[in-house]
Amino acid sequence: MQFSSSLLENAVNEFAKLPGIGKKTALRLVLHLLKQHENDVQHFSEIIAKMRSEIKFCQRCFNVADGDICSICANSMRKQEIICVVENIRDVIAIESTQQFNGTYHVLGGIISPLDGVGPDQLNIESLVHRVQKEKTEEIIFALNPNIQGDTTIYYIQKKLQHFSLHVTTIARGISFGGELEYADEMTLARSLQNRLPVEKYVHH
């Protein structure tokens, strides 16, 4: 791809670094911005920079937040005694989109995957145990991707929580094994949450 402007080329190369964005799409986006009013492009870049510099992570559940505590944890209308354990922030957004869950979340920041060099210590697992310990948690719902790494993570955390008196469930297998939560349609995900199952009937080792 040949460019007559190094400024254009540099912008295209930056957009092309984004996931799922090839050089052609990057060029289309840059040319679109080039057509916009300079103030609009300035506003666009300021919003992105502001998001990156000012966004925080909830001290309680590790979801994205504008302050120290996210809007879900701060909402007294949510069932604070129910915690849905997810792998990442995309999964929080996917479940919230169903409008079928009224509890809280705990974002692990990944799943246990020895082949990828990800162990339990690199995830937000101890903070979940401490949270259950100090709060009146009634139910933990695992909403992890249904694959071997997800099941390993559930098994590990379940062992860490076995001394606490609480229900430990997992979303039903409406999500096919090997699938990913964020790509499930909202109806399937909602049904999987509603028809959750006791973990011991589902994770076998």
Residue 181 has what pLDDT? 57
- The answer to whether 177 touches 146, Cβ cutoff 8 Å, is yes
Which residues make Cβ contacts (< 8 Å) with residue 14, sequence separation at least 6? 26
Q: Which domains does the chain have, with CATH numbers?
A: 6-54 (1.10.8.420), 75-201 (3.40.1360.10)
Residue 178 has what pLDDT? 44
183: amino acid identity, one letter: Y
Candidates 96, 74, 71; CA nearest to 84 is 96
Q: In angstroms, rounded to a whole number, what is the distance separating the alpha carbons of residues 63 and 92?
A: 8
Q: In angstroms, rounded to a whole number, what is the distance separating the alpha carbons of residues 168 and 30?
A: 48
Q: pTM for the full model?
A: 0.79
Chunk the chain into consecutive blocks of 10 residues (it has 205) and report each block's average pLDDT, rounded to whole numbers. 93 97 97 97 97 97 97 97 97 92 97 92 96 95 88 93 91 56 62 67 51
Residue 156 has what pLDDT? 94
Residue 106 has what pLDDT? 98
Q: Is 112 helix (H, G, I), strand (E, B) or coil?
A: coil
Candidates 21, 91, 202, 159; CA nearest to 11 is 21
State which H helix or E strand residue 8 sits in.
helix 6-15
CA dihedral 92, 145, 80, 124 (to 10 degrees): -90
Q: In angstroms, rounded to a whole number, what is the distance separating the alpha carbons of residues 158 and 90?
A: 23
Q: In angstroms, rounded to a whole number, what is the distance separating the alpha carbons of residues 29 and 75?
A: 38
Cα angle, residue 89 at apex, residues 192 and 203 outer, rounded to 5°: 40
Residue 145 has what pLDDT? 84
Other residues' Cβ atoms within 10 Å of the Cβ of residue 121: 8
113: left (phi over 0), alpha (psi -120 to 50) or beta: beta
